[in-house]
Copies of this chain bind each other. A is one copy, B any other.
Amino acid sequence: MRYKLTVAYVGKNFKGWQSQKDVRTAQDELEKGLSQLFGEKVVVNAAGRTDEGVSAIAQTVHFDNDKEMTPFSLIQAVNFLLPEDLSVVDARIVDKSFHSRKSAKRKTYVYRLYVSPYRHAVYDTFATQIYKMPDVELMKKVAQSLIGEHDFVAFSSTGSSAKTTVRTIESIDVNLNGNLMEIAICGNSFLYNMVRIIVGTLIWIGLGKLPCDTIDKMLATGNRKLGAKTFPAIGLRLESIEY
């Protein structure tokens, strides 16, 4: 049987998704629970990694196992074994042709920010603070340059193992509700730190800390240094993956 699971976890409690020695990662916790449930070592294949501190409500994995369980029983049982800050929210039995990464059509990440000169005890649990209100209309306008297929090398951190830095962004939506802002970015796949660099650069343009043509120049030159710093992990959440 090939199982497809959708997984949620609280990013700030993990050193990222991917299995690592001597630190707590979401993959390790999930595999520990599944291995206990199936009575043998289970290794999962994920749609992608999330970095240290990044949350997810739609991380997707697949794995094969001979034992047949109904999705309902599997989720109930594994959630009992998993820690509080990680849970399986959906399960399906899928065809052997399904692959969590290769079959993914698009992913949506949402980055959350709040605007205030002061820190906020509640918002700090899921959003990044910015001190002044940026020009949201300008952000929306310059974001349009990112839509489509581009070489996003200027929007990636070194250390990426990707073969190509060409990616396709389908949409970027900026929503402001009071002093809370959500930036939703939908694309086929993302480079290392790509969403956090895009968000930072949009915000800095909106604040007038970077020129309006920064994004066009970054795309044209591939120069990472023209952009903003990589914004903090706390605001970022993997929101959905479509297959």
Question: Could you list which residues of chain A lie within 8 angstroms of chain B, going by C-beta atoms?
Answer: 8-10, 55-57, 72, 75-76, 79, 82, 84-90, 116-125, 237
Question: Which one of B72, B75, B76, B84 contacts A121 once the chains associate, using CB atoms below 8 Å?
Answer: B84
B10 touches A118 (CB 8 A): no
The smallest C-beta distance from A137 to any residue of chain B, in angstroms, reads 25
- Counted per complex, copies of this chain come to 2
Task: From known contacts A10-B125, A125-B10, A125-B125, infer whether A87 and B57 are also in contact, taking CB-CB under 8 Å.
Answer: no
The smallest C-beta distance from A76 to any residue of chain B, in angstroms, reads 7
A9 touches B122 (CB 8 A): yes
Which residues of chain B are near A237, meaning CB under 8 Å?
Answer: 122
Task: From known contacts A84-B124, A122-B8, infer whether A89 and B72 are also in contact, taking CB-CB under 8 Å.
Answer: no
A86 to chain B: closest residue by CB:
B121
Task: From known contacts A72-B117, A89-B116, infer whether A122 and B10 are also in contact, taking CB-CB under 8 Å.
Answer: yes
A76 to chain B: closest residue by CB:
B118
Task: From known contacts A72-B117, A117-B72, infer whether A57 and B88 are also in contact, taking CB-CB under 8 Å.
Answer: no
* A9, A56, A75, A119: most-surrounded residue (chain B CB, <10 A): A119
B9 touches A87 (CB 8 A): no
A124 to B55, CA, bound (A): 13
The smallest C-beta distance from A199 to any residue of chain B, in angstroms, reads 19
Which residues of chain B are near A9, meaning CB under 8 Å?
Answer: 121-122
